[in-house]
Chains A and B, each alone.
Chain A
Amino acid sequence: MKLDKYLDRSLWVFHLNTGSCNGCDIEIVALLTPRYDVERFGIKLVGSPKHADVLLVTGPVNRKMLPRLKLIYEQTPDPKAVIVVGTCGTSGGVFYDSYNVVGPVDRHIPVDVYVPGCPIRPEAIINGVLKAWLKLERLRGFSGAEIEKKIEEVSA
């Protein structure tokens, strides 16, 4: 439920592993620990893409996960942003020529933010999520000036 555009709800993220080695996934879990604690910003991992604003994808996309990736992307409500976390999802990584890999992710669904790294640092993921947040606000009808103001508020 949205009462008005200035009283927006928090950013909810759905995490999808398309064949990752779990290195990136552990770093994502690290974001929820007291050291980084992204929930203090309202950023929360949710159990269903239907509740999500952002689709966070890890892994190089293997054949088994491809139809699931496409279906979950379709099931994520609009406006949505897609973040690819890790080198595998960005370029295929060390698995780029594997018989079972059909990635990278942007070959199959549109990607908004890339966070490369093997594995990535949690700070890099936070930065990527903030970039996705700005994109979503643009999609939700905020003007460029309003977004600039928000960036100043965040960075102040």
Chain B
Amino acid sequence: MNIGLLETGSGYWNALIWIIVTVVVGIAVLWLRSKGEEKYKKNTNQTKPFLSGNPEVSKEDSHVGASHIYWGFTEALKKYYEPLVKLHTGDINDYSGWIILMMAIIFIIVGVS
């Protein structure tokens, strides 16, 4: 295996230098971490985030869902969406009724023209 210097014209890249830098930074991180405070009380509020003294909200309640991206969109088209949501009752009889009604209107239009 040949580990050489790759010169690109705008710089160089060497796998050995990369590994050495990673090891040195890793040692520095571990050393800093070992100097951290060890005396904190585990499994108490000391490990929980500070939210101005308020209790931590559950992950489910604090989650920002994908639907939040569309908040402005649905807010702007609220007048259009709200009647549509009301129409979606979840009752199959209602949906069948809409199909029959719409087909009747289409047949009338087709028949007349």
Contacts of B52 in A (CB 8 A): 68
A74 interface contact, C-beta 8 A = yes
Binding site for A on B (CB under 8 A): 32, 35-37, 39-41, 44-46, 48, 50, 52-55
Given contacts A1-B32, A49-B50, A78-B40, 18 further A-B contacts (CB under 8 A): A1-B35, A2-B35, A2-B37, A16-B53, A48-B50, A50-B46, A50-B50, A65-B53, A67-B53, A67-B55, A68-B53, A71-B54, A71-B55, A72-B50, A72-B53, A74-B45, A77-B46, A78-B39
Chain A: minimal CB distance from B39 (Å) = 6
A129 interface contact, C-beta 8 A = no
Binding site for B on A (CB under 8 A): 1-3, 16, 48-50, 65, 67-69, 71-72, 74-75, 77-78
Given contacts A48-B50, A69-B53, contact A74 B44 (CB under 8 A): yes
Q: Please state if A75 and B45 are interface contacts (CB–CB under 8 Å).
A: yes
Contacts of B32 in A (CB 8 A): 1
A68 to B45, CA, bound (A): 12
Contacts of A69 in B (CB 8 A): 53
A39 to B39, CA, bound (A): 27
Complex partner residue of A71 from B39, B41, B45, CB under 8 angstroms: B45
Contacts of B37 in A (CB 8 A): 2, 77
Chain A: minimal CB distance from B50 (Å) = 5
Closest B residue to A76 by beta carbon equals B46
Q: Could you list 13 A-B pairs, sorted by A, with CB under 8 Å?
A: A1-B35, A1-B36, A2-B37, A48-B50, A65-B53, A67-B53, A71-B45, A71-B55, A74-B45, A74-B46, A75-B46, A75-B48, A77-B46
Contacts of A2 in B (CB 8 A): 35, 37
Closest A residue to B50 by beta carbon equals A48
Chain A: minimal CB distance from B36 (Å) = 7
Chain B: minimal CB distance from A98 (Å) = 21
Q: Please state if B46 and A68 are interface contacts (CB–CB under 8 Å).
A: no
